[in-house]
Amino acid sequence: MTIARDLVQLGKLVAAQHGWAAAKAFKAYEMPDADKARLAACAVEILKVFPQAADRQSAVSGWLSAALAVQLERHLAAPVQVVAGVLAVDGQPVYGRREPVDGPAAFGGEDAGWDGHVWVMVGPYVVDLGMFRAAYSADCPPELARHVHSLFGQNQAVYVDHWRRTRQSGLSYEPQYVLTRDEVTLLMGGAYRLIAPQ
């Protein structure tokens, strides 16, 4: 899918879950420097409390993204969406499959029945806490680990870029589903269990 078609598709997915006003706000948003600083602070705060989990990377990307989205909504006056889909490196999927998705079935509980990738969109900007964490873990798909290590190096925490530029980095974020507020809340239950185990 081309970037323009991806953006149109994501706009339709946002509209399906949150209405056309949310889709218009998503497309029109430009990130000012103050929002960039707040975003970075929120990401650092989330990563400090999340333990490094070596297993269930797709679930962890959902939990991280839900927690980040909730924090960003508190600190930014920006359209924030949690998106599920395929993360590909040089066109090859490393998380997820290019098949139809039943979002309500996949995200109907705290433990998402999802094997794809989950990230946050702040307007047209990809904000991904899960990618670097996955790339530095032992069970990461080798294509992603090699790509991240060669392009970004070690000790990166959050990937933020305008969606149109992600492919210049060899990454593609292919949206398949935009989560509802209720689904994000359910994921927060899984995130909380990871942060504060009983």
User: Tens of pLDDT along 75-128?
Assistant: 998 889 999 999 999 999 999 999 988 888 888 866 666 788 999 999 889 999
Number of neighbouring beta carbons within 10 Å of residue 51: 9
| Alpha-carbon distances, residue 195 vs 51, 63, 142, 155, 156 (angstroms) | 7, 10, 27, 21, 21
pLDDT of residue 40: 93
d(CA 132, CA 67): 16
DSSP structural state of residue 30: -
With CA atoms as reference, report the closest residue to 169 among 144, 151, 142: 151
Q: What is the pLDDT of residues 5-52, one digit of tens each?
A: 666 676 777 667 767 777 677 677 788 899 999 999 999 999 888 877
Q: What is the pLDDT of residues 129-179, one digit of tens each?
A: 989 988 988 888 999 999 999 999 988 989 999 888 898 999 999 989 999
Is residue 108 within 8 A of residue 183, CB to CB? The reply is yes
Q: What global pTM score does this model have?
A: 0.86
pLDDT of residue 54: 44
Assign 3-class secondary structure to 72-126.
Answer: HHHHCCCCEEEEEEEEEECCEEEECCCCCCCHHHHCCCCCCCCCCEEEEEECCEE
